[in-house]
Amino acid sequence: MSNGESPVPVERVGVVGGGIMGSGIAEVCARAGLAVTLVEANTPAAKRAEDRVAQSLERAVARGKLESGDAEEALSRLTYTDDLGALADRELVLEAVVEDKAAKLAVFASLDDAVVSNDAIFASNTSSIPIVELATAREARAGHVLGLHFFNPVPVLSLVEIIPSLLTDPGVTERARAFVTNQLGKDPITAPDRAGFTVNALLVPYLLAAIRMFEQGLASAEDIDKGMVKGCAHPMGPLALSDLLGLDTVLNVAEILYTEHREQLFAPPPLLQRLVAAGLLGRKSGRGFYSYD
């Protein structure tokens, strides 16, 4: 803001996609006192998102991280629907659908008709797709598009990558930063608009190196993870972390990174490709590098 005025706070937020990331983003926005509308593909998916948020809030109360009254207030601020038209009055809309470029482009193209406000910010929670590629779906308002990449679990981890593209208006970036910092209480970093941004450009090669080590029979999964937890003070080993993130997500990000950079450290190991092809995606499928009950 060139006139020195503080950015106008966001009051009404829309989230498109109610999976683990989308529901987590919706939850933290509601806990911050914002009115949140979450849009899913259909009514059953919207109900699953509603249940996911309710269960997360219940866990926060049970662990003493949230008062029961605050949880109830957060729930009262949330609306779930399968109608993109419900986003008409939103000041910030955050896309959190599957990590697939075509799917995200379709969402951004649809938002042109759904969102009325010419000042609305359009953000993507993509973990790897360059923002400028998504902004092309909104040529008339490309300056209002940027990346806001949250980390899983969203209610717990404080980092958010803010990724402006070459087309993003500086005032939009400033307002988004104020939203993340002042309203959500998160800790942002500014990331370059390239595949993988900052965190995944560093993290994914590390995960792939661990998968290659296991694939080559150089160490067991347990020893690889224990080595990094006990020897390097990581909170979780790389193979357990891959299972938590979802092996399909790790593969998708690796493929995007390799396509852009053509560096061998980004190339997906064959074992990762086979696990995903077999539907062994980690925690969410019950089996990956480890088995989960």
Residue 55 near residue 20, CB atoms below 8 Å: no
pLDDT band with cut points at 50, 70 and 90 for residue 145: very high
Residues 212-224 pLDDT 10s: 999 999 999 999 9
CA gyration radius, the chain: 19
Instruction: Classify residue 220 as left (phi > 0), alpha (psi -120 to 50) or beta.
Output: beta
Q: What percent of the chain has pLDDT over 90?
A: 88
Pairing status of strand 187-190 against strand 159-164: parallel
- Mean pLDDT, range 250-276, rounded to an integer: 95
- Mean pLDDT, range 20-42, rounded to an integer: 97
Pairing status of strand 12-16 against strand 121-124: unpaired
pTM of structure: 0.90
Structural domains present in the chain? 12-190 (3.40.50.720), 199-283 (1.10.1040.10)
> Which amino acids are annotated catalytic?
127, 149, 161, 200
Cα gap 120→92, rounded to integer Å:
5
Cα gap 235→143, rounded to integer Å:
38
